[in-house]
Amino acid sequence: MTPPSGEVRTLFSEAEISTRVDQIARDVADRIGADLLVVAILKGSFVFTADLIRALHRAGVRPQIDFMQLASYGMGTESSGQIEVIRDLTDPVEGRDVLLVDDILDSGRTLSFARDRLLRTGARRVQLCVLLDKQARRVQQVDADFVGFECPDEFIVGYGLDHANFYRELPFIGVLEDPPRV
């Protein structure tokens, strides 16, 4: 498959992201403590989660880690509004404090769905941690407990975020200029 064309304008640099991830980890350690299950929503959050769990280690937290893969975008740039579970957790959450990690909070549907699912399966508490908060796109009221950056209403790629599975490898977060609408 040919990568989509388009320029990527840097929004948050690699250094800015690193500094902010370290601060989030310290905040998580202070507010939640050391006994924690980190649940990353794949695929977009994998880079953020990897950096975050290393930063949590430096902050004295030894989290267990599990993954959920949810889908609502497909190959397009707009959410379908329907959440599909592609991969579910393998570890039990009953009675656990869970830090649910995602790359971006935009419509609110995915994180609301995932949080409710974890609570229904017995999690004691679920706190939300997102790298980016795009409040302009919110259709379901949900607020993150830990936020990296406020995000403008533009199509964002890099640092795990993609367009049609491209751009995830960028070490920064950027705006994809003129993404094709699918």
Please say whether the beta carbons of 170 and 65 come within 8 A.
no
Please say whether the beta carbons of 95 and 118 come within 8 A.
no
Q: Rounded CA gap, 52 and 9, in Å? A: 24
pLDDT at residue 178, rounded to an integer: 74
- Name the residue among 51, 55, 49, 48 with its Cα closest to residue 30: 55
pLDDT at residue 103, rounded to an integer: 96
- Residues with Cβ within 8 Å of 158's Cβ and at least 6 positions away in sequence, in order, are 8, 167, 168, 170, 171, 172, 173, 174
pLDDT at residue 75, rounded to an integer: 47
- 8-state DSSP, 11: E
| CATH 3.40.47.10 holds for 14-152 | no
What does the pLDDT profile of the chain (182 residues) look like in tens digits? 777 777 899 999 999 999 999 999 999 999 998 889 999 999 999 999 999 999 999 999 999 999 999 987 554 445 557 888 999 999 999 999 999 999 999 999 999 999 999 999 999 999 999 999 999 989 999 999 999 999 999 999 999 999 888 999 999 999 998 765 55
**pTM to 2 decimal places:** 0.90
pLDDT at residue 80, rounded to an integer: 57
Domain boundaries, the chain: 14-152
- Residue positions annotated with a catalytic role: 106
